[in-house]
């Protein structure tokens, strides 16, 4: 079974500051990891994903995440926050084998302070 | 690519009434997922289909909930009878299978009074 824990249900950063959203996972098999973003009144959109290969993954809108197996983490970062980054962010995990479900974290709401 | 289309966007109904939510996945996608989102429980997977066949419905909360996928381009989620605790946003998502990304619709906001 797989699960993810997102530390901090709400994060506020100033415009131009570093964004760091934390995600730790638990998985009994090699994991596939994802970050999704949800804007108000919309469905979720894929930001980036890690399956195999390079552990630093770059996504859309300047976001990136690094898979650290030793820390069971997949934190999301962006060097400089923009007002348009205000949204809810979800980390998700899926097992690498079989027809396994995608399990989402509880989400982190990012607020950007002008 | 029109994306995943859900209807209606909003549904307000009285307790005890039947509610039917509809979803049209992206053409060519062969997996379809129904999720429920609430403040208390976050995103919960209710059921998913692969090639129109239900694969896992363990997330369906009660027998009041049922889902069908009669063909590759249409799915319904039905609640009968509805209860106030069913109030939530229901999302449909699809993908081409495997570890391909999920594409979500904009959701149906259900309010049961």
A66-92: pLDDT as tens digits: 999 999 999 999 999 999 999 999 999
Terminal CA-CA length for chain A? 41
Does any CB of chain A come closer than 8 Å to the CB of residue B43? yes
Q: What are the residues whose beta carbons fall under 8 Å from the beta carbon of A5, sequence distance 6 or more?
A: A23, A24, A25, A26, A105
Compute the distance between CA of residue A107 and CA of residue B6 in angstroms, rounded to an integer. 23
| pLDDT for the residue B83 | 96
Res. A13: pLDDT tops 70: yes
| pLDDT for the residue A113 | 97
Res. B40: pLDDT tops 80: yes
Cβ <8 Å between A51 and B99 = yes
Mean pLDDT score, B2-7: 93
Chain A residues with CB under 8 Å of B43 CB are: 44, 90, 104, 107
DSSP B26: P
- B76-107: per-residue pLDDT in tens? 999 999 999 999 999 999 999 877 889 999 99
| pLDDT for the residue B110 | 98
Q: What are the residues whose beta carbons fall under 8 Å from the beta carbon of B63, sequence distance 6 or more?
A: none
| pLDDT for the residue B97 | 82
Does any CB of chain A come closer than 8 Å to the CB of residue B106? yes
How many secondary structure helices (H) and strands (E) does chain B include? Answer: 0, 11
**Residue B62 confidence class, pLDDT cut points 50, 70, 90:** confident
| pLDDT for the residue A1 | 74
Peptide bond into B8 cis (omega under 30): yes
Does any CB of chain A come closer than 8 Å to the CB of residue B49? no
**Residue A31 confidence class, pLDDT cut points 50, 70, 90:** confident
**Residue B2 confidence class, pLDDT cut points 50, 70, 90:** confident
The average confidence (pLDDT) of chain A is 91
Cβ <8 Å between B56 and A34 = no
Asked whether A19 and A110 are in contact (CB, 8 A), the reply is yes
Backbone angles phi, psi at B53, to 5 degrees: -105, 130
């Amino acid at each position: 079974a797989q699960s993810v824990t997102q530390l901090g249900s709400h994060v506020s950063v100033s415009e131009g500051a570093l964004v760091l959203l934390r995600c730790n996972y638990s998985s009994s098999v090699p994991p596939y990891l994802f970050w999704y973003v949800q804007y108000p009144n919309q469905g979720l959109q894929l930001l980036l994903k890690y399956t195999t290969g390079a552990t630093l993954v770059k996504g859309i809108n300047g976001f990136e995440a690094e898979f650290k197996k030793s820390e069971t983490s997949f934190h999301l970062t962006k060097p400089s926050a923009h007002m348009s980054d205000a949204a809810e962010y979800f980390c998700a995990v899926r097992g690498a084998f079989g027809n396994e479900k995608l399990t989402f974290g509880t989400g982190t709401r990012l607020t950007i302070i002008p | 690519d029109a994306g995943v289309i859900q209807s209606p966007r909003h549904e307000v109904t009285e307790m005890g009434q039947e509610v039917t939510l509809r979803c049209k996945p992206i053409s060519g996608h062969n997996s379809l997922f129904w999720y429920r989102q609430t403040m208390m429980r976050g995103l919960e997977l209710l059921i998913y289909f692969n090639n129109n066949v239900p694969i896992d419905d363990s997330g369906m909360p009660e027998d009041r909930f049922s889902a069908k996928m009669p063909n590759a381009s249409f799915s319904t989620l039905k609640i009968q009878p509805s209860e106030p605790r069913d109030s939530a946003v229901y999302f449909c998502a699809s993908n081409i299978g495997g570890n391909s990304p999920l594409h979500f619709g904009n959701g149906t906001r259900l309010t049961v009074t």
